[in-house]
Amino acid sequence: MAVFEASGLVSLHVGPLDFHIEDGGCVGLTGPSGSGKSLLLRALADLDPHGGRASLDGVEQAQTPGPDWRRRVGYLPADSHWWAPVVGDHFDEQPDWLADEIASLGLPGEVMEWTPERLSSGEKQRLAFLRLLSVQPEVFLLDEPTANLDVDVGSSLERIVERWRKERGVSVVWVSHDFNQLERVADSVVVLEMPGNS
| CA atoms within a 13 Å half-sphere pointing along the CA-CB vector of 70 | 14
Q: Beta strand 26-30 with 188-191: parallel, antiparallel or unpaired?
A: parallel
DSSP state of 135: H
Query: Do 53 and 7 form a contact (C-beta atoms < 8 A)?
Result: yes
pLDDT at 197: 55
Q: Going by C-beta distance under 8 Å and a sequence separation of 6 or more, which residues neighbour residue 97?
A: none
Q: Which of 57, 25, 37 is nearest to 145 (CA)?
A: 37
Question: E-assigned strands of the chain?
Answer: 4-11, 14-21, 26-30, 51-56, 59-60, 73-76, 139-143, 171-175, 188-191
The C-alpha atoms of residue 164 and residue 18 are separated, in whole angstroms, by 24
To the nearest 10°, report the CA torsion of 107, 111, 116, 117: -80
Say if domain 4-191 classifies as CATH 3.40.50.300. Answer: yes
**pTM for the structure as a whole:** 0.94
pLDDT in tens, the chain (198 residues): 579 999 999 998 888 999 999 999 999 999 988 888 999 999 999 999 999 999 999 999 999 999 999 999 999 999 999 999 999 999 988 899 999 999 999 999 999 999 999 999 999 999 999 999 999 999 999 999 999 899 999 999 999 999 999 999 999 999 999 999 999 999 999 998 876 654
- Greatest CA separation for the chain: 51
Query: Do 6 and 19 form a contact (C-beta atoms < 8 A)?
Result: yes
Neighbours of 91 (CB within 10 A): 17
pLDDT at 194: 75
Question: E-assigned strands of 22-108?
Answer: 26-30, 51-56, 59-60, 73-76
